[in-house]
Amino acid sequence: MTESNDQDRKTPLKLSPGKLELKKTVETGQVRQSFSHGRSKVVTVEVRKKRTFATGAGGVLHEVKDGPRPAEFEPPPQPGVVHDEHHLHDLTTGEKAARVRALQDALKAEEESRRRSADDDRRRAAEEEFRRLAAEEAARLRQLEPEPEPEPPAPVTEEPASSVVADVQAAPEVVAAPTPVIAVKTALEEEEEEDRGKRPGRPTPHKPVPVAKRAEPRRREGKLTITAALDDDDRGQRGRSLAAVKRARERERLKQMQKNTEKVIRDVIVPETISVQELANRMAERGADVIKCLMRNGIMATINQVIDADTAELVVTDFGHNVRRVAESDVEIGLSGLVDGDENLVSRPPVVTVMGHVDHGKTSLLDALRATDVVSGEAGGITQHIGAYQVTLQGGQRITFIDTPGHEAFTAMRARGAKVTDIVVLVVAADDGIMPQTVEAIRHAKLAKVPIIVAINKIDKPDANTARVRQELLQHELVTEDLGGDVLAVEVSAKKRINLDKLEEAILLQAEILDLKANPERSAQGVVIEAKMERGRGSVATVLVQKGTLKVGDVFVAGSEWGRVRALVDDRGNKIDAAGPASPVEVLGLQGTPAAGDDFITVETEMRAREVADYRQRKEREAKVAAGARGTLEQMFSKIAAGEARELPVVIKGDVQGSVEAIVSTL
């Protein structure tokens, strides 16, 4: 009946629930959020509500407002109990994770409690069993003990058992501490407690300050055992503190400093000039002590003052150090290299210098030996250069010839030729005899201490008189073999090619007597015979290699100039890659034109070559300044008025330095 009545009484359909009203479904509010250091922030909060309508008694719809629900009691979570999905859906992800962690912690605490209780039970059972066995052993020993006879010595194996029993009975029983109950808080409860603690006006609970644990164990901490009791005296003594250790180290350090240390003797390098401060640093002495030493010697000097090498040597000697003097010229030490051993030496061709008076046939004789024509290339038919050539004989032997000019102006050039040679061939014309330049050549050869071979040329002329030449040689202490001396004399004719083979045999015989050897495997070393500047080629130097092997690309020093070998040209104009001992070559690649007669040495690096070249250039400039120093203006005018000095500026140009030297010496 009731259902039918309800169905009969239907509510008419309306557009709105009763009256048309406009109400807010969103409530807004402001919340002040507090941060650390007194900061705060106002946050606007909106709360959206759901409106629910219900039919009243008169059939009018009205809004149903949700009231506060009574708080339901939620039992604490039990381990192993899984909540249904309806309750889990109401929790946030953080609350779910907190509950899972709480359950896991509770399970771990329960497992730990069970394990501890099991360990305690096993320990108690072992102690009871040990007491029972000890009591049985004591009773058995009492039964076996005889009454009238003396007590026999107890066996060694049984003594520890009785002593252990007595110690165990006397020792107090250690009661296991109860397992503390671990209170597990969920993450949600911890957050709520933190929020309650941060509220203003609420006292913050005092948290105990954690006390640092002692590094050393306490004296009565833990279980007392026999071993621990015996070692208790040793562990009871406190060790030395860190401060005591530091004080002992400091006392030891001061004691070592107070000891008289032995003075260190040093090798002090003293250059030509040195400052007082630098000298003190090299001796490892105080600058004040060095100044005091100078004052005792009567020299007033400051710390930055420069003193000479003699004074510095005196100071170093006073302090007891060793002195090693050095100079600027020490940069040239080691250029010549080490002395070659006999096992590295091999035979080399002889270097022969052809000398004699002008127009006696020196170049013609050399031309006949070389089977080439070099006379046509000389200006005026006389030699103005030092020509270096190498001749290969039929037997394979080689001879290096150096052709020198015979003119009287080329004295310096002849002297250089005599210095670099092994044998001097003195050419004397049979129809002319001994002439002034012949005498000069003899003198140069004797100064150079080289053997002389006399070649009497032009024997094909009708007025040739070889006997007169031999007699004239006696006046200059040259005694030929046919007159009982040791000087070889060969009669030749360069024009007719007569007795040239005998002259070559005499040269080879004299070279065999000299036993000429050199090391071809070392760095090259030689002498500059001639130097010139050529258009398109730059500075070109004719070099005679005396030791080692000169190769393309080697860095060298020639006098005050340095360079790198760019090309090597032999006496016939052919380019070669290397030149051995006693080989004359033209070297291209010089930075400047060296002077004739300078030494030629290869070095390891360009830096070393620059150092040597700079030092030699500086010395040359100092020598020129000293030589060209003039007096006062009054002295110069007085000399001009007296007719003693007349200056005429002259510019001299020559193809080679030897020609310029000859002109300058003549002027």
> What pLDDT digit, counting tens, does each position of 25-72 carry?
656 667 677 777 767 777 777 767 667 777 766 666 666 665 555 444
pLDDT digits (tens, 9 = 90+) for 258-284: 665 677 888 998 888 899 999 999 999
More confident residue, 361 or 662: 361
Rounded Cα distance between 638 and 645, Å, is: 9
More confident residue, 357 or 378: 357
- Name the percent of the chain in helix, strand, coil, to the closest 5: 40, 20, 40
Indicate the range of 14-23, 149-158, 163-172, 300-309 predicted with least confidence. Answer: 163-172
Name the strand (E) or helix (H) holding 401: strand 398-403
Tell me, what's the pLDDT at 286?
Answer: 92
Rounded Cα distance between 184 and 173, Å, is: 33
More confident residue, 499 or 259: 499
Give the β-pairing of 351-356 and 346-347: unpaired
Sheet arrangement for strand 452-457: 387-392, 398-403, 351-356, 423-429, 452-457, 488-491
Q: Which range, 63-67, 192-196, 609-613, has the best average confidence (pLDDT)?
A: 609-613
Q: Provide the pLDDT confidence category of residue 326 given band limits of 50, 70 and 90.
A: confident
Rounded Cα distance between 310 and 296, Å, is: 16
More confident residue, 85 or 556: 556
Burial of 417 (0-12, 13-18, 19+ CB in 10 A): buried
- Per-residue CA distances from 44 to 49, 130, 211, 330, 513 (Å): 16, 75, 45, 92, 122
User: pTM to 2 decimals?
Assistant: 0.50
Residue 226: both structure tokens together: 């026999």
Rounded Cα distance between 601 and 611, Å, is: 14
User: CB pairs under 8 A, 24+ apart, for 151-160?
Assistant: none
Indicate the range of 283-297, 368-382, 394-408 predicted with least confidence. Answer: 368-382
Average pLDDT over residues 547-575: 89
The candidate with the shortest Cα–Cα distance to 531, out of 657, 399, 394, is: 657
Q: Which range, 174-188, 195-209, 253-267, 370-384, has the best average confidence (pLDDT)?
A: 253-267
Rounded Cα distance between 541 and 658, Å, is: 12
More confident residue, 68 or 143: 143
Tell me, what's the pLDDT at 227?
Answer: 64
Residue 544: both structure tokens together: 């005679």
pLDDT at 293 over 50: yes
- Between CA 464 and CA 470, with CA 467 as vertex, the angle to 5 degrees is 115
pLDDT at 186 over 70: no
Q: Which range, 80-89, 437-446, 578-587, 592-601, has the best average confidence (pLDDT)?
A: 578-587
Q: Work out the end-to-end distance of the chain between its first and last CA atoms, rounded to an integer number of angstroms.
A: 164
On average, the pLDDT of the chain sits at 75
The candidate with the shortest Cα–Cα distance to 383, out of 399, 400, 367, is: 367
Taking each helix axis from N to C terminus, what angle separates 411-419 and 436-448, rounded to the nearest 10 degrees?
Answer: 30
Indicate the range of 71-75, 162-166, 559-563, 569-573 predicted with least confidence. Answer: 162-166
Q: Which range, 12-21, 127-136, 175-184, has the best average confidence (pLDDT)?
A: 127-136
